[in-house]
Amino acid sequence: MMDLPLWARWGACLPAAFLAVLLFLDQNITARLVNNPRYKMTKGRGKDSVLDGMHGDLFVISILTGLCSIVGLPWMAGATTRSAAHVRSLSIFDDDGNIEGTIENRVTGASIHALIGACVFFSWPRMLLSEVPLPVLSGVFMYLGLTSLQGLELWDRVLGLFQDSSIASKTRWSSIPKKTSTIFTIVQICCVAAMMWVTKSPFGVMSPVMVAFLPLLRKLLLKTNLVDSMSLHVLDA
């Protein structure tokens, strides 16, 4: 690191700031999904401890990110799809499909990462994985992605676009006009599509700038009366 000229060290501050925002968002989104109250977990509910729940997760990730940056190792961040599928697989459901609780443990998480580490350090697990057909792996990833969508309000509102409101089940946002929720959902879909396009482009490091524009877009929705403040409060609750 000290071999870099002084101008290069200062020049790295701007993209580093973008990446810091990106890592924070990635980890925070994953932590919020995993620690969602609907899973009824004890972990993450310690009000008197700053190291419990999302604060503790972000604190550990920040230390690991700093150490990995110094020695040139890849950064660590929350794996959103895999983490959501993991906590859902540990959930206990009743006969109606509602979550009664979650089997909280450290065994499954440690086992998963031990297997990932085995694939890094040993050749035979990699050889075993190479025998799995690509369509099978794609199907597994597709299943993980679809199951992680369950319970997300954005996904529920997207499905609501194709449902008859007179016979659809009541939701928390059923009290607001259908037109308002439709406009808000379409705007969110466009934002997600724009984020994906920027992330996959050569300018992927600029994706935090897209996130910075979201509050401005929110104010624009209110100023143009496309979404009123009361409805936005219900959608945000």
3-state secondary structure of 42: coil
Q: Where residue 44 falls among pLDDT bands split at 50, 70, 90?
A: low
Query: CB burial class (10 A; 0-12, 13-18, 19+) of residue 148?
Result: buried
Query: Mean of the pLDDT values across residues 5-25?
Result: 84
First to last CA, the chain: 46
Residue 18 to residue 175: CA distance in whole angstroms: 38
Alpha-helical (H) ranges within the chain are 6-11, 13-34, 53-71, 80-89, 107-121, 123-130, 134-149, 153-160, 178-200, 207-223, 229-236
Residue 169 to residue 7: CA distance in whole angstroms: 60
- What pLDDT digit, counting tens, does each position of 133-147 carry? 999 989 988 887 787
pLDDT at 72: 85
Instruction: Name which residue leads in pLDDT, 54 or 224.
Output: 224
- What pLDDT digit, counting tens, does each position of 46-85 carry? 667 767 667 777 888 889 888 998 888 888 777 777 888 8
Please calculate the CA angle 61-83-113 and round it to the nearest 5 degrees.
Answer: 70
